[in-house]
């Protein structure tokens, strides 16, 4: 993924704020099927598309694919709110992606803590 321009970063930040506030307003669990949060947003160079990375610590019976599919069904609602906030010619088309990067980071931190704990015992 290429680094974003200042314009892309501003639009991505607005998308992040609007989608997060709409998820909080309606309840992310009711919209997505599980509590979820936005980790980051990437806006395309032409600002016509935005990729919203989400994660959830409490998926329950849902798979990450189901979580993303549930969120994808709400794009009309989120896009409408986004259109009211943006002053760009086009409202970006939202695409949700499950961000498993944080899960990997959590596993690494757990392993490091175990190593640190075992080294202090010796």
**What pLDDT does 5 receive?**
93
- Output DSSP code: residue 42: E
**What pLDDT does 57 receive?**
77
**What pLDDT does 33 receive?**
82
Can you tell me the distance from the alpha carbon of 100 to that of 108, in angstroms, rounded to the nearest whole number? 13
Report residue 99's pLDDT band, with 50, 70 and 90 as the boundaries: confident
The whole-number average pLDDT for the span 71-95 is: 92
Q: Where are the alpha helices (DSSP H) in 4-121?
A: 6-26, 28-32, 64-72, 75-85, 101-121
**What pLDDT does 122 receive?**
57
Report residue 43's pLDDT band, with 50, 70 and 90 as the boundaries: very high
φ and ψ of 52, to 5 deg: -105, 115
Q: Which residue has tokens 């160079």?
A: 45
CA-to-CA dists, residue 7 to 2, 14, 15, 115, angstroms:
14, 11, 12, 43
Can you tell me the distance from the alpha carbon of 74 to that of 86, in angstroms, rounded to the nearest whole number? 18
Can you tell me the distance from the alpha carbon of 75 to that of 86, in angstroms, rounded to the nearest whole number? 15
The whole-number average pLDDT for the span 62-82 is: 91
Residue 33: Cβ within 10 Å count: 18
Say yes or no to pLDDT of 112 above 80: no
The whole-number average pLDDT for the span 106-110 is: 71
The tokens describing 3, both together, are: 């680094």
pLDDT digits (tens, 9 = 90+) for 6-42: 999 999 999 999 999 999 898 887 888 888 889 999 9
């Amino acid at each position: 993924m290429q680094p974003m321009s200042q314009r892309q970063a501003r639009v991505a930040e607005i998308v992040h704020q609007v989608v997060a506030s709409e998820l909080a307003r309606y309840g992310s669990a009711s919209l997505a099927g599980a509590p979820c949060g936005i980790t980051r947003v990437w806006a395309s160079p032409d600002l016509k598309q935005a990729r919203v990375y989400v994660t959830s610590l409490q998926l329950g019976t849902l798979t990450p694919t189901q979580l993303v599919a549930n969120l994808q069904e709400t794009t009309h609602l989120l896009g409408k709110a986004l259109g009211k906030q943006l002053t760009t010619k086009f409202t970006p088309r939202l695409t949700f992606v499950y961000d498993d990067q944080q899960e990997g980071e959590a596993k690494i931190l757990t392993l490091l803590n175990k190593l640190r704990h075992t080294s202090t015992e010796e």
